[in-house]
Amino acid sequence: MTSTHGTVGRVVNFPVRDTATRAGAAVSRAAADVGASVTRFTDEQAGVVDDWGRDPGLVRIVIGASRLRWDVTVGGDQRLPKRKGALIVVNARALALAPIFSALALSEAVDRPVRFVGRPDTAPVGAFVRRIGGLLDHPDEVAGALAAGELVIMGATHDERLRKVGRVDHALVGGALAAGVQVFPAATLSSPIGRAARLEIGTASRSPRRRRGPLSELELADQVGRDIEMLLAELGDIRTGTPLDWFPLTGIGGA
């Protein structure tokens, strides 16, 4: 689920403050890089939560349980930065929980905690989702996590047409620009009746033009959507091995 949060552009600053903010952010990032020690998913201590309220012990249990539902093949994870943060945008079908299964599978693949956007702020569901790595659907929340060097997955809205990607929330993409991290498109394929699922991460998306204002996040969000559609086209159709595959509109597929 995405929203615009009433923001036109998260990258706009007044000129005087702009220089200071950029310099401050650069110093902050440099300082963070010097002392950066990436948390390893396998090394995380159980019985405590991390800085964002994610419980590694619970995440391991949920990953084990999720294998009953999904058997996820992860590809393209070598493209992600080893230490820095990154925003990964996936296509999401209604009720497919694509950001969640993608985050769980990617955590194991890259051995880093991976968070996802779309936590409700009501107990007990919101509290549980926070424990497994959920973040609020808010640009500042996403920007804060990305600036802290976290991998964050967000979903595009659902599009009824097969192999088409819905709207990518430009405000959240603006959070990535503000944090100075890359945005990666990723295609997900899953089936409502089978376990096989796939997450394929593409190369980082780039805005077609250099912009100084909020157009940069709008154009980058559109570009990410197009890149995901390209990845979906490259993946082809998923096969269940059943006669369902013979029908043209089975609802099987990622978009």
Partner 1 sequence: MMMTGKRVFVSGVGGELGTTIAGLLEQESWVGELSGIDADPPRHRLHRTVFHRIHPDEHDRIVDTVCRFNPHVLVHVGVWEPDARAAPSAAATLTDQAATSILGAAAECSALEHVVVRSGIEIYGRGRGALTRPSESAPIAPTSDWGRTVAAIEHTAAKVGERVGVTVGAVRLAPVLGPHVPSPLGRLLRQPGVPFSVLADPPFAVIEDRDAARAIVAAARIGLAEPVNVVAAGAITALQAARRGRRIPIPLVGPDWRIARALSFLLGAPIPDHVSETLHRGRLADNGRMRELLGIVPEHGTVDVIDRLYHWPSIIHQPARVQVA
Residues at the site binding partner 1, with contacts judged by CB under 8 A:
24, 27-28, 31-32, 35, 47-53, 121-124, 126-127, 130, 135-136, 138, 140-141, 144-145, 147-148
**What DSSP element (H or E) covers 71?**
strand 71-75
User: Which pair of structure tokens corresponds to residue 224?
Assistant: 């990410």
* Closest-CA residue to 170 (of 210, 206, 215, 213): 215
Minimum Å gap between C-beta 122 and partner 1 is 8
CB nearer to partner 1: give 65 or 148: 148
* Closest-CA residue to 219 (of 208, 229, 205, 230): 208
The CA distance from 133 to 181, in Å, is 19
CB nearer to partner 1: give 18 or 245: 18
Cα pseudo-dihedral 75, 76, 77, 78, rounded to 10: 130
Minimum Å gap between C-beta 126 and partner 1 is 8
CB nearer to partner 1: give 78 or 122: 122
The CA distance from 36 to 143, in Å, is 18
CB nearer to partner 1: give 130 or 170: 130
Minimum Å gap between C-beta 47 and partner 1 is 6
**Half-sphere exposure of residue 34, counting CA atoms within 13 Å on the CB side?**
5
CA dihedral over 7, 202, 228, 66, signed as positive or negative: negative
CB nearer to partner 1: give 8 or 31: 31
Minimum Å gap between C-beta 145 and partner 1 is 8
CB atoms within 10 A of CB 163: 18
Minimum Å gap between C-beta 140 and partner 1 is 6
CB nearer to partner 1: give 50 or 108: 50
* Closest-CA residue to 33 (of 25, 41, 42): 25
Minimum Å gap between C-beta 46 and partner 1 is 10
CB nearer to partner 1: give 85 or 225: 85
For residues 159 and 94, is the Cβ–Cβ distance under 8 A?
A: no
Minimum Å gap between C-beta 52 and partner 1 is 6
User: Which pair of structure tokens corresponds to residue 107?
Assistant: 């955590």
